[in-house]
Amino acid sequence: MPESGRVGPSSASSAARTIGYRGGMYGTDFGPEGEPAETGPDPEEFLALIAGEGRVEPRDAMPAEYRSTLVRQIAQHAHSEVIGMQPEGNWISRAPSLLRKAILMAKVQDEAGHGLYLYAAAETLGVDRADLVEQLQAGQQRYSSIFTYPTLTWADVGAIGWLVDGAAITNQIPLTRCSYGPYARAMVRICKEESFHQRQGFQILWTLQHGTTAQQQMAQDAVDRFWWPALMMFGPPDAESPHTRQSMAWGIKRVTNDDLRQRFIDMTVPQATQLGVTLPDPQLRWNDERGHFDHGPIDFSELYDVLRTGGQCGTDRIAHHVAAHEEGAWVRAAATAYAAKRAAPASGRGEVA
Amino acid sequence: MSTVGPPAAEPARDWPLWEVFVRARRGLSHVHVGSLHAADSAMALQHARDLYTRRSEGVSLWVVRAADIVAASPDEHDAYFDPAGDKVYRHPTFYDVPEGVEHL
């Protein structure tokens, strides 16, 4: 039985529960059913497209590895947006004012939206969102290491907005020029929305810095804890990044990890000065010759530890995600049943209320 | 032995896919912005509003089931669009305008 490729009640066979192209059509591009586009080694058209800075669209022929690299990267990105709701959601009920609470809810809602844009982009590559969520829950796909850190104080919400979203924006802006059309388009939308996130974080810290000594200490403490993890969000150094070279050649990645990290540092150090917080790196100083800030060595063993062990909150994050997903199962089932009932012909007999 | 249990049939793993089109403002046509999953058209519209117009990006929304869209195959694009390629006379730039002739 050929896999129909349509997302619907009957399309989910167990054979389809693997990551890979299924020859179906998903979102943002359409065509008749049939053979999947060629996925052999580097189809000529694909290479010409990449060489000419063209954009690859869902039903174009593409190397299997280009497809799987994108699925891995976009899924990981989507998971990060969704898991990223948790550390901040932790503070919604304790936000210090109604306005702060409304802002934080809007931000967390944005993160959910970003997750959905990205899952939709991944689905154009022939995978199912349900499979991706399953793999996240089974620990087979990752999310950003930054969300394994706990949010201990209100100032952490500020530090996340300023540093974590700041790092995310730095990483995401070049992705708006990614060679894969649906991913690039999702990133345009996301980048537009992220800049409010970063500013609200900066404003939280700014307000604390203009408050009591205890509030200033709280802000400094949050910055101390989030600075190094934020730098590690850009991934391992270029020399140790296994995917960078191929991803750059394919136009998936436009700027290397180390260059993005440097870009973020250069933007952030002056902001820290204006905030009046100290970044926890005694070796940070402007290098006139390079035209960049120099920084101390980054202890990447912490990143590798987090990736290996799940970090301080990793287990909780996944458990929370699974619980929320399971608690919502009856809502999804009810909506499905209601839709089926409404779709059934009105004169149909045997319908049970 | 009549107890109320979960429905016998395993519910679908995900709802059907819908494509979303937004009219940014009056005077413009609807433009495709992305896709989403929803159980039915009412839910698709509601999700589209929440997902794609959180910042007043639109004044009107269309949702269409992805499965209902018919499209030309990209494999045939060359042959399919070829007939337009050699009809340069369809463009005004094909015609030489004699010097001095205006408003043509």
Q: Which residues of A touch B35 (CB under 8 A)?
A: 26-28, 120, 123
Measure the CA–CA gap between A54 and B19, rounded to whole angstroms.
24
Which of A81, A124, A135, A336 should we substitute to test contact with B (largest number of B Cβ atoms within 10 Å)? A336
Pairing of strands A292-294, B17-23: unpaired
Going from the C-alpha of A92 to that of each of A150, A168, A223, the distances in angstroms are 15, 21, 20
- 3 state SS for A29-63: CCCCCCCCCCCCCCCHHHHHHHHCCCCECCCCCCC
Contact B17 A335 (CB under 8 A): no
What are B21's strand-pairing partners? B32, B62
Residue whose pair of structure tokens reads 């990551």 in the numeric block:
A19
Q: What is the mean pLDDT of residues A37-51?
A: 75
Contact A50, A166 (CB under 8 A): no
Closest Cα partner for A235 from A170, A181, A162, A159?
Answer: A170
Percentage of chain A exceeding pLDDT 90: 75
State the distance between the two ends of chain B, measured CA to CA, in whole angstroms: 86
pLDDT score of A24 more than 90: no
pLDDT score of A34 more than 60: no
pLDDT of residue A9: 32
Contact A128, B13 (CB under 8 A): yes
Closest in A10, A333, A335 to B7, CB measured: A333
pLDDT of residue B76: 65
Lowest-confidence segment of A1-10, A49-58, A156-165 by average pLDDT: A1-10
DSSP A60-129: S---HHHHHHHHHHHHHHHHHHHHTHHHHHTTGGG-SSHHHHHHHHHHHHHHHHHHHHHHHHHHTTT--H
> Tens digit of pLDDT for each residue in A218-262?
999 999 999 999 999 999 999 988 888 899 999 999 999 999 999
> Tens digit of pLDDT for each residue in A49-76?
999 999 999 988 899 999 999 999 999 9
User: Within 13 Å and on the Cβ side, how many CA atoms surround A34?
Assistant: 10
Measure the CA–CA gap between A243 and A263, rounded to whole angstroms.
20
Measure the CA–CA gap between B2 and A19, rounded to whole angstroms.
41
Q: What is the mean pLDDT of residues A5-30?
A: 35
Contact B73 A59 (CB under 8 A): yes
Measure the CA–CA gap between B60 and B85, rounded to whole angstroms.
36
Closest Cα partner for A295 from A238, A231, A224?
Answer: A231
Residues 6+ apart with CB under 8 A from A227: A163, A279, A280, A281
Q: Which residues of B touch A55 (CB under 8 A)?
A: none
Measure the CA–CA gap between A313 and A231, rounded to whole angstroms.
19
pLDDT score of A7 more than 50: no
What are B61's strand-pairing partners? B22
Measure the CA–CA gap between A273 and A278, rounded to whole angstroms.
7
State the distance between the two ends of chain A, measured CA to CA, in whole angstroms: 34
Q: Which residues of B touch A25 (CB under 8 A)?
A: 66
Residue whose pair of structure tokens reads 């399953």 in the numeric block:
A134
Q: Which residues of A touch B15 (CB under 8 A)?
A: 7, 332, 335-336, 339
pLDDT of residue B25: 95
Q: How confident is the model at residue A309 (pLDDT cuts 50, 70, 90)?
A: confident
Residues in A lying within 8 Å of B, measured between beta carbons: 6-10, 12, 25-32, 34, 37, 57, 59-60, 106, 109-110, 113, 116-117, 120, 123, 128-130, 185-186, 189, 193, 329, 332-333, 335-339, 342-343
Measure the CA–CA gap between A212 and A217, rounded to whole angstroms.
9
